[in-house]
Structure 1
Amino acid sequence: MLIVTIAFVVLILIGMPIAFAIGTSGALFFAQHPELPFTIPVQVTVSQTQNFALLAIPLFIVAGNFMNRSGITERLLDLASVLTGRLRGGLAQVSLALSALMGGVSGSAIADAAMQSRMLGDEMTKRGFTRGFTAGILSYGAVLTPIIPPGIGMILYGTIGQVSIGRLFAAGFVPALLLWIGLGFAVWLTARRRGYQPQRRTRPKLGEVTRAFTGGIWALLFPVFLLVGLRMGVFTPSEIGAFAVLYALFIGVLVYRQMGMKGFVEGLESSLADVGSVMFLIALSAIFSYGIVLEQVPETVAGWIVGLTHNLTGAMILICVVVVVIGFFIDATVLIIMLTPIVLPVARDLGADPVHFGIVFIIAATIGNFTPPVGAAMYAVCSILRCPIGEYTRESAPFLAAVVAVTVLLILLPSIVLFVPNMIFG
């Protein structure tokens, strides 16, 4: 697998699209083993697309695109302003609240960061926030998105690792809240030092609060319906994806009446591009994964980690460090697809709960979206706000520190992650 890994890195460095780099380097493994029929790469690629559990991915992508066109975003922004507008840091705190509220809607950290940059970026700079600070908080705030149901990373990890997606959904709420608090504290410290003012001076009136909650209630109920449906056995993860699509159409067409035929077609077009790229990546990753299993890479990695430490906490920290470093160069979705078959068996052998490990692993994999040199969310935000990467990197350091601190806390205290899923699912 060494030659395959080197080939993958070289192909990435010369600019080949990730999916083709994975497929090409994976095929190279079979070229090294002529005793293996070369029909296997074709077979595993096709069979990967026939995995029924993966049907949830395109369905949730379609639901997210429909909900973004349903009028929910504007109402959630109003709610976020009411909830956090009086905190020091003003619109920066509002952006964090919006990320938390939007997590169950968009499901994509990159999409969430780009959307908020267009909505709030210019207004934040007009109010005196530096471009680096603005870009940093709008980017790092999106770390909440993948761990609030129905995050695509959870579905990928659960499907590949045979972990309960319902428990993963339930486990994301408390870590997301802690990340929100950690990032909010980092904003507060910076705002206090620089004199950034709250967005609003007066307390919201009861009528304003009521209108804001009423406007955003349909989005807030969305993850609740998902968990209740899974807990009561009404839906499988794939079936609840279909429910999510119908729910998004119901809100956009009948409740808010903001999604007409044009919005419906635009949602399908966006979903077609998103689904195509993600599913093509998943299909070709099967070639790479076949070689990983055949060469017993998980066992080798497990032996290496156990050789360094027999302590579960130390092993999880070590795995997260490796994942974050690799994430500097590879997208989070690719990391989850490629590394889950390697690191999850290691964590299980050391006694980790797969749900606890999964939440920590997904957060660690997501960090790379916000860091140089190839962070997709970072580039999206900096491009929209015309912010130099150097300024972004310097000013976003407190937000990176906050995310790392919360991740370490989650590793040390598994009960924080497992409290909600144990309460709901037993």
Structure 2
Amino acid sequence: MVIAILLISLFIMIIIGVPVAFALAGSALFAIIYLGQVPELVVLHRMVGGMDSFPLLSIPFFVLAGALMNSAGITSRIFDFANSLVGWMRGGLGHVNISASIMFAGMSGAAVADAGGLGAIEVKAMRAKGYDAGFSVGVTAASSTIGPIIPPSLPMIIYGVMAGASIGQLFAAGFIPGLLMAVALMIMVAYYAKKRNYPKDASFSIPRVATTFKSAFLSLMTPVIIIGGILFGIFTATEAAIAATVYSLILGSLVYRTLSFKKLVKVSMETIETTSIILLIIAGAAIFSWVLTTQHVTEDFTRWMLTITDNKTYILLMMTFILFAVGCFMETIAAITILTPVLLPIAISLGIDPVHFGVVMVLNLMIGLLTPPVGMVLYVLSRVTKVPFEECTKATIPFVIPLIIVLLLVTFIPSLSMWLPTLIYR
């Protein structure tokens, strides 16, 4: 009965438009009141406890670093460099779109930041070159999901906190799957380019590559500082986020001189707003997960799954389906904080490494950002490009196919994600 109250009240509140954070905390409060065994004050204690984690301090700094990059015009330099590298290919700006997302992924760690910042530049450039709006938005939406897979990654940080897994290993584990996503999307772009006879947008020129690389070099050093510092043990993920923020601030204000005080204030306020939303969701999910745990839902669910089958392949497919379905309806951070304590014990009982499962979970939920009804990336791109949401959805669906193929490869070939962390850390 308690679980019914918990889930039904959560579903109703989400349907009527209650913010996810309050829906999670509210449904947990209803369940606690029904139980009558613990004081309601436990809700507040558990919410605060859910946010009391040192690695979570990295979130506002990674958000701020990505926002500074966007505001200081650094993303346009990255786009120009990517254009000089792959713009000569047929359907060049589609490939540029994906390549630029790989580079920007090492700075923001968030799909929505990629879509809202770099995505606006990419779609505008593609439409100016004659690409249809649907294709432009579709490839931009799909490529933005690379950001949270290639380190640094905000979802990976949150999963690491929930699972007690090494964030450094999670970052390393996401690198190869992120590149596989890029390759799969570029194959899809090549198919569309041939089918629709898209032109080559630029001729390859070594001097142009050198010029744009020189212009973007300091910007491209951001992911080197973040990833290199973490992998070589120079600093933790939180310290890396602070270093990235300071570096971005120096680039924008002192080197490029494109970051004014007015822009800095605006970016800071946006960061406070974004961080507050994330932490509220984590707090709400913390009390929700606590109720699930105290009512032994995680243990019961694990036993139930294993009574259906003990075949590792079938259970992985079932968990993949659950994650995909949840990703279609729930915000990524909330989904991670709720599902990690439920699904991780099952994964561990099957001998699946928590780091590998983290990559599978995050990749699965990233695809959910491209599917209605929640599809945050689609809403962001619809807003910044003025393309109707329905058209964004229709254009993006074909690009979900190569991402699902990569998801299945990463799920059933663990070495794709585990080779690098094993090489570096184990």
Q: Deviations over 1:26-73 (max 9, x none)?
A: 111101211112221111112223222211112222222222223321
Task: Compute the displacement of 1:389 (Å).
Answer: 4.0
Q: Name segments (4+ residues, structure 1) moved above 6 Å.
A: none
Partner of 2:425: 425
**1:176 aligned residue (178, 185, 206):** 178
- Is the 2:57–2:238 Cα contact (8 Å) retained in structure 1? yes
Partner of 2:89: 87
What pairs with 1:327-342 in structure 2 (closer than 5 Å)?
327-342=327-342
Unaligned runs of 5+ in 1: none
Identity of aligned residues (%): 34
C-alpha separation in 2, matches of 1:302 and 1:89: 47
Q: Aligned partner of 1:203: which letter?
A: F
C-alpha separation in 2, matches of 1:226 and 1:110: 20
**2:129 aligned residue (123, 127, 135):** 127
Asked if 1:192 corresponds to 2:194, the answer is yes
Partner of 1:103: 105
Q: Deviations over 1:154-211 (max 9, x none)?
A: 11001111110001111111111100010111111111111111211x222x222122
C-alpha separation in 1, matches of 2:67 and 2:394: 33
C-alpha separation in 2, matches of 1:326 and 1:357: 16
Task: Compute the displacement of 1:16 (Å).
Answer: 0.8
- Is the 2:327–2:335 Cα contact (8 Å) retained in structure 1? yes
C-alpha separation in 2, matches of 1:336 and 1:219: 31
- Aligned pair in 2 of structure 1 residues 137, 418: CA closer, same or farther (>3 Å)? same
How many correspondences in the alignment? 424
Partner of 1:112: 114
- Aligned pair in 2 of structure 1 residues 175, 6: CA closer, same or farther (>3 Å)? same
C-alpha separation in 2, matches of 1:45 and 1:270: 23
- Aligned pair in 2 of structure 1 residues 319, 423: CA closer, same or farther (>3 Å)? same
Task: Compute the displacement of 1:386 (Å).
Answer: 3.5
RMSD over aligned Cα atoms: 1.7
What pairs with 1:68-87 in structure 2 (closer than 5 Å)?
68-87=70-89
Partner of 1:7: 9
- Is the 1:183–1:399 Cα contact (8 Å) retained in structure 2? yes
Residue 149 of structure 1 aligns to a residue whose secondary structure is coil
Partner of 2:364: 364
- Is the 2:76–2:121 Cα contact (8 Å) retained in structure 1? no
Unaligned runs of 5+ in 2: none
C-alpha separation in 1, matches of 2:313 and 2:243: 38
What pairs with 1:26-65 in structure 2 (closer than 5 Å)?
26-65=28-67
Which stretch shifts more, 90-99 or 65-74?
A: 65-74
Which stretch shifts more, 380-389 or 16-25?
A: 380-389
C-alpha separation in 2, matches of 1:261 and 1:126: 32
Q: Aligned partner of 2:165: which letter?
A: V
C-alpha separation in 2, matches of 1:106 and 1:137: 19
C-alpha separation in 1, matches of 2:423 and 2:218: 24
Partner of 2:152: 150
C-alpha separation in 2, matches of 1:245 and 1:400: 32
Q: Aligned partner of 1:210: which letter?
A: A
Partner of 2:168: 166
Task: Compute the displacement of 1:390 (Å).
Answer: 4.0
Partner of 1:212: 212
Which stretch shifts more, 342-351 or 392-401?
A: 392-401
Task: Compute the displacement of 1:76 (Å).
Answer: 0.3
- Is the 1:84–1:90 Cα contact (8 Å) retained in structure 2? yes
Q: Aligned partner of 1:90: which letter?
A: G
Which stretch shifts more, 66-75 or 288-297?
A: 66-75
- Is the 1:62–1:271 Cα contact (8 Å) retained in structure 2? yes
Task: Compute the displacement of 1:126 (Å).
Answer: 4.0
